[in-house]
Amino acid sequence: LSFGYATTVADSVARLDDADCAQAETTLLEMTDQGFSAGKVATFGHRIRDLIAERDGTEDAPDEDSKRGYDKSWLTTTRSLDGGRYVKGWLNPEDAAIWDGTLAPLAKPAGPEDRRDVAERTAAALSSVLSGGHKATKVTVICDLDTLTGGNAPARLTDGTPIPAPQARRIALAAGVSPLLLGRGNTPLYLGHRERFASAAQRQVLETLYPSCAVRECEIPGTLCEVDHVHGWALGHSPTDIDQLALTCGWHNRFKHTRPDQIQITKDRDGRYVYRLLPPADARGSATGTGPPGSIGPPDSPLHWAA
């Protein structure tokens, strides 16, 4: 049997006793031999369970999920034959609020080229949280040494919000102060060794540089992004040095890894990397300077491609 048929049959008979299981398996396997789709087999499997419940007088009995009630949150997971995992559960209102507050910002579309539906984006957001790629530092206030020692230049938050100098000094009295060595052009220098993963100090610096994903027009906050080796760690081009790193959301990080020919990388005036998505190579090769009817923007622009 194919994997789809095998899991469908297995799920259909999972809660039957030995006698009913043997009969149900025989019936469902005959259906697979006759060419019925996996969906049809699953539907028939549900019908078999309903008939057995009617026979045994248990059709009105509450299922296991209902027996749990709705006061406490719960999750069950089942590993599939191919290494995946089914997830099922219930979150009470308090835990649901935490879920929404954590995952909702990550589950937004990463840009006009993001074709994933809500379910796919939510799964990706959960994976990002579990992998630690979303972890945010505490509130970071950025200011010059002159401001801390009495100057009037305002400080700022990582999103650019200005903080008056007196308030920044009051915050510094009760906060941890991390000196940041800057090079020419206010570009942060190396903060760590050539390890695979960025250090906490490096991430803190990157979050001061990138208020959002490095991909142009992606609005995922930098504090919810993953650290990306600009020229690819797997290729051996990028050491884990601060001037070789950027922040990208999880979706664009994987997009860059799988389709490097569709990423154009430049730097802005502040020394930050800017990623720009390009159309596929064959689409770029056919551009002649005039877009098709209904396109907007120049032929090589993302808007033209999206049109």
Domain boundaries, the chain: 3-56, 64-130, 132-177, 181-307
Phi, psi of 89 (to 5 degrees): 175, -170
**pLDDT tens-digit series, residues 236-261:** 556 777 788 899 998 898 888 888 88
Its pTM stands at: 0.43
Per the DSSP assignment, residues forming a β-bridge with 155 are: 163
Query: What is the pLDDT averaged over residues 90-113?
Result: 84
Residues 6+ away with beta carbon under 8 Å from 65: 90
**pLDDT tens-digit series, residues 44-76:** 888 888 888 888 776 655 556 666 777 788 888
Angstrom distances, CA of residue 159 to CA of 126, 141, 202, 207, 272 = 24, 10, 17, 9, 14
